[in-house]
Amino acid sequence: MTLYTRRLPPGCASCLEGQGSNLYVTGLCTRDCFFCFNQKPRKDETVVHGIPIDDPAEAVEIVARYGLRSVGLSGGEPLLRPERVLALLAVLKAMPDPPRVDLYTNGDLATDALLGRLKDAGLDAIRFDLAARDYDTEPVRRARRFFDEVAVEIPVVPADREKLERMVLELDALGVPFLNIHELFLCAENRDRVVADGQVPLNKDSAHLLWRPTAESGLAALDLLQFALERTKTLSVYYCSCGTQEVIAARGLERRRAGRSVAP
């Protein structure tokens, strides 16, 4: 299920076509969220499109090889390694036809000084996981002074409905253009903690990603989408379900098998 109000975030368009990918800057993080799906124990490693690298220059070859049009710098918390982030930005934006680059962060380390450096380095947009901060919008307020495109991207935790609705109204008042929401899901890395939080999985396994959405999160996401449609003036909300992410993965695989990536 892929639904959105008003408009689709620019960074999501190429992803839906299978032309986007994750650039995992580091597995280290400042938080320990119960819904986190990253590998444990955490590792300080950099992985591009599923391929570990030792040097930022290797990222350029991988992006060119697979014809990627958008890259998401993520983690862990990528801003624990700010110089690594900036080095990756420098080589990606120096490409003849540079990809779009978004940064995913919880905002803990997003100081004014670092936000300014990221903007100067060519970062296109920044996305905050406010679920990691109990929906505190302060990092978003700060980033709005530097970036036109600031987004929030979170899993929908059904028990947090009132906080989520309050956050939606705050984001709209701040002029934030985009909110991306996902289903809360279970996987090998988070299953015990998600179940301990009281969540029950749907009785259906994922065909590709080995994720199982929780029974209530999809409905909660639809409720939040409806709330935003009725109560906001400019905020666009995009619901990217586990099923959508399976389609994205399948399209990326199809492109590679069809030879539509650039030869190394």
Residue 209: predicted pLDDT: 58
Enter the tokens of residue 233.
Answer: 């003036």
Kindly report the average pLDDT of the chain as a whole number.
91
How far apart CA 13 and CA 60 sit, in angstroms, is: 21
pLDDT at 67 over 80: yes
Write the CA distances from 84 to 53, 154, 167, integer angstroms. Answer: 12, 24, 31
CA–centroid distance for 119 within its chain: 18
Using the predicted structure, report yes or no on whether residue 262 has a pLDDT greater than 50: no
- Beta carbons of 81 and 26 less than 8 angstroms apart: yes
> Which pLDDT belongs to residue 205?
59
Residue indicated by tokens 């934006």: 93
Residue 1 pLDDT > 80, yes or no? no
Q: 42-63: per-residue pLDDT in tens?
A: 999 999 998 999 999 999 999 9
Q: CATH topology for 2-257?
A: TIM Barrel (3.20.20)
- 226: helix, coil or strand? helix
Residue ranges per structural domain of the chain:
2-257
Q: Is pLDDT of 195 > 90?
A: no
Least confident of 116-125, 143-152, 229-238, 240-249: 240-249
Alpha helices in the chain (DSSP H): 10-16, 57-65, 82-93, 112-120, 138-143, 161-174, 191-196, 217-231, 242-257
The answer to whether 218 and 183 have CB atoms below 8 angstroms apart is yes
pLDDT at residue 256 in the model: 61
- Per-residue pLDDT, 158: 94
- R_g of the chain, CA atoms, integer Å: 18
Q: Max CA-CA distance within the chain?
A: 50
* pLDDT digit string, tens, across residues 201-259: 776 655 555 678 888 999 999 999 999 999 999 999 999 988 888 777 777 777 666 65
| pLDDT reported for residue 264 | 39
CA 248: distance to chain centroid? 14
Q: Is the pTM of this model over 0.85?
A: yes
